[in-house]
Amino acid sequence: MKYKFHPANERGVNKMAWLDSKFSFSFAHWYDPQKIHFGALRVLNDDIIAPNMGFGMHPHDNMEIVTIMLSGELQHKDSMGHTEVIKAGEVQHMTAGTGIMHSEVNSSKTEESKLLQIWVFPRAHNLTPSYDQRFFDVEGRTAKWQYLVTPNGGDSIKAQQDAYFVRQLMPEMSEAEYELHGEYQGAYVFVIEGSVEVNGHKLGRRDAIGLWEVDQLKFNASEEADVLVIEIPMR
């Protein structure tokens, strides 16, 4: 097993009057040559957006984009004709493919939007753009893995990559295991809340660890923990 620890306090920071972002990987003005990507995982931004503020219309292409809403809501508009409000508990996925334009604005007048925006390289270039958005309830991830995004779809959102986004709310003093889907897969574990031990490594709130050349992840939670695993190809 190989691993790389990403402490929360070593992430990039972009703090403005309306936006507070933490970057797990090099993004915008923040550059760390040791944190360009992890396998096919390119971006993991931890964003807080002030009420009535957000990102105007801007382009993307050749990327799988996943937004996990932690609290609040986000007004989405895009060049594919979608106008949607993404609310807490919902996950949005876009295949940017040949190119899209979209905007993301906090539609609340009083509440901040808190979200994770994650980019994954697709399995092929210039795919047809697509959009999906679904709600995932807390009960579905309490003491078990909830599959948010997978290559196969079904009860999860389908991505154009061998990527698996799984989330679990681990009760205090609980254990869990996660099996990877092949020898060339790796896993980036991000602790949304709480603390957990992963294959012997202790992680706190917003800490992360990338693991590869490993078949199984073993989790131990001494306190309640909200854990996100992003499994992606490493080559």
Residue in 201, 144, 148 with CA at minimum distance from that of residue 5? 201
Report how many helices (DSSP H) and strands (DSSP E) the chain contains, helices first. 0, 22
Same domain, residue pair 115 and 173: no
Same domain, residue pair 33 and 113: yes
- Residue the block writes with tokens 């949304």: 192
CA torsion 122→74→56→66, rounded to 10°?
A: -10
Percent of the chain as helix, strand, coil, to the nearest 5: 5, 55, 40
Q: How much is the pTM?
A: 0.97
Q: Give 112-149 pLDDT, tens digit per residue.
A: 999 999 999 999 999 999 999 999 999 999 999 999 99
Same domain, residue pair 121 and 169: no
Residue in 159, 76, 169 with CA at minimum distance from that of residue 121? 159
DSSP class of residue 129 equals P
Same domain, residue pair 109 and 36: yes
Rounded distance, CA 158 to CA 188, Å? 19
Same domain, residue pair 113 and 30: yes
Q: Give 7-43 pLDDT, tens digit per residue.
A: 999 999 999 999 999 999 999 999 999 999 999 999 9
Same domain, residue pair 146 and 214: yes
Same domain, residue pair 71 and 123: yes
Q: Work out how many domains the chain is built from and give that number.
A: 2
Q: Give 159-195 pLDDT, tens digit per residue.
A: 999 999 999 999 999 999 999 999 999 999 999 999 9
Rounded distance, CA 112 to CA 126, Å? 35
Rounded distance, CA 148 to CA 136, Å? 8
Same domain, residue pair 16 and 106: yes
C-alpha distance from residue 6 to each of 79, 135, 191, 205 (Å): 35, 29, 11, 12
Residue at 161 is within a domain: yes
Q: Looking at residue 164, what is its pLDDT?
A: 98
Pairing of strands 19-23, 41-49: antiparallel
**Average of per-residue pLDDT values in the chain:** 97
Same domain, residue pair 146 and 91: no
Range of the domain at 103: 11-135
What's the 3-state SS for 52-81? Answer: CCEEEEEEECCCEEEEEEEECEEEEEECCC
CA torsion 65→68→185→36, rounded to 10°?
A: 60
Residue 27 belongs to a domain with what CATH number? 2.60.120.10
Same domain, residue pair 182 and 121: no
